[in-house]
Amino acid sequence: MNAGGRGVRVSMVGRVAPWARRHRWFLGVLALGTALRVVTMLGYRPALWFPDSYSYVVTAMRPKPDLVRPAGYSMFLRLFEPLHGFGFVTLAQHLLGLLTGVMIYLAVVRRRRPRWVGALASAPVLLDAYQIQLEHLLVSDSLFTFLIVAAVCLTLRPLTWRTALATGLLLAAATLTRTVALPLIAAFGILLLWFGSRAARAGNGTAGGTAGGAVDGGTGTGTGRASGRVRRGRMPWRVTGVFLAAALVPVAAYGGWFWAAHHRVGLIGANGVFLYARTMSFADCAVMRPPADLAVLCDDRPPARRPPSQEYIWDPDAPLVRLPGITFLRETDALAGRFAWLAIRSQPLDYVATTLDELARSFAWGRPVYPDAETYGYYEFPADTPDPPGRHPAIVGTRFAEQYERGPIGTRVVEPYAGVMRAYQSVAFLPGVLLLPVLLFPPLVAVARFAVRRLAPSKGTGAGSRRAQAWRAAWAVPWAVAGLLLLIPAATAEFDYRYVLPATPLACLAAALMVRPRSRR
């Protein structure tokens, strides 16, 4: 019996050791990322709080659609309420961060890119100190990042109705976590239809069995029955229909719940308010000539002397906040939306310029303080126990959080673990100035390769040539999604450092997929 047990152990070691050697670079990065998250949980117990955290907890404990944020993350919190500890929430968020890194690595190596490239692409989400700190905050971004990356990685798998269904459900969950994902549903639908149609025109399953337009590098084969359906030209419309149904039915159901609660169409009731705040970075009423009911929202100060956009939503002295009733009343939101669209129509060039200015902050050298010191400080590991909230909504949320925890809430800073993470955060993060070349790498390489093919066209027309074209297109989906995740907040709200982090792993994935595949041998 003992000899048999030793034989089993020797056999397992014989199998695991070669696998570990093959993936040693990624396993090292994953181990370090895991250790850093353990140190974080030991240093900051049980969680870090953000102003939004309290409203999420209120919705979790008193389920009702919020006017400012969808309830997806609140329902995520609700899953852990029976455990009565926010530490379980942060543990789950850290695990989601690790799984996100694993998905990035698997997506790269299944496409037969070098394993060290996969490890490098997964490093930002696994090792970036600000990513780890964001996972320890009670905010929706870690869950949102996981859902978006999972959806993108699924599109790199063989294109079937099952992958379309799963992708749609993931994007629906992401939309109900952060509404910035809603435009992505349309973008994904177009990409699925486009790549599927290319596969149908190619007339061969190896030409485009996935949304990335390529064969699954993990199998090295075609896509079997699914590819046959693509060949007949019917699959693109079917999978796109399945995807749209899976994505839009849950969103529509939530919209029905929102209507029942607030008698308003939509997923939230603050779109007009946030767009108004965004346009206040350039809106000039002397140019706009607003009617009397909109003129009350004007700010006579020149744009250069105005506060950050978010102050026009939360500052008690802001023109919109001074109006009677709460800021997010239907009438107030509609008034703010009308003002915002008038500003955009009247000053389109100023809107584009300020949007590009906000977008450029994603690629700044270092991390300049923005939009203000208070918000910036929430993304740093604190040296001392943070002060309790002072705003009334957060005070109300604190009472619900104490019910959730079944005791007092707060963050206990424990040394030396907390000091380790503070020191690590001062040096270990991906600067925006490095994110820019990562984002530019795929399209620049694609243009260069296109120019080379035009100058020296290949004579190959068989399956090998189609596969060569396929791996060149695989970067398009993650790159497009990364770009939209950076652009949409800059165009509709305001730049925030935590909005950059969900786009980073996708930009790294797109760059990794531009590397030439490993030889099958």
Burial 400-417 (b: 16+ CB within 10 A, else e): bbeebbeeebbbebeeeb
pLDDT digits (tens, 9 = 90+) for 326-353: 788 889 999 999 999 999 999 999 999 9
Cα–Cα distance measured from residue 377 to residue 249, given in angstroms and rounded to the nearest whole number: 39
Positions of the chain with pLDDT under 50? 1, 203-209, 213-233, 460-468
Which pLDDT belongs to residue 188?
87
**How, if at all, do strands 44-45 and 412-413 pair?**
antiparallel
Residue of 352, 449, 421, 401 whose CA lies nearest to 127: 421
* pLDDT at 190 (0 to 100): 84
pLDDT in tens, 108-121: 999 889 999 999 99
Residue 181 · residue 489 · CB < 8 Å: no
